Structure 1
Amino acid sequence: MAGKGLDGRHRDKTGRIDSKHGNTPVGSLRKTYGAHFAQGRREDMPRMLLAETGSGSLHAYVREHHK
């Protein structure tokens, strides 16, 4: 279970907070945001769509492109 303030992340054995990876496949994101998330993209495509769309974060992408 993640501790308070870890934003859903966990600590590794040394106590460091695990970083966010940013390589989540589009198919996994569709489970969260719905079947119409990133339409036209393959489900196994990593989240390279942020760079392709010029979005700085997933939050920004959702705010701008996922309405």
Structure 2
Amino acid sequence: MSTAAAPIPRILYRPEEAAEALSLGRSTIYELMAEGTLRFVKRGRSRRIHHNELERFAASLTDQSH
């Protein structure tokens, strides 16, 4: 029997991880952060994006195929 612990849900994402989660390029994430569209926290040289911010951003996208 395995007693593996359940994975801890991720709260903060590095820009590269956020890019993967949103299926966007890394440079696009940095551009969105620079223009203020994607909010982030900065600690030293590290930038992290809260998972709620990723969900908010994704929900704000609209279908532009029409």
TM-score by length of 1: 0.40
Comparing both structures, which one devotes a greater share of its residues to helix?
2
Structure having the higher Rg? 2
TM-score (norm 2): 0.40
Identify the structure with the greater strand proportion.
Answer: 2
Structure of greater relative contact order (alpha carbons < 8 Å, 6+ residues apart): 2
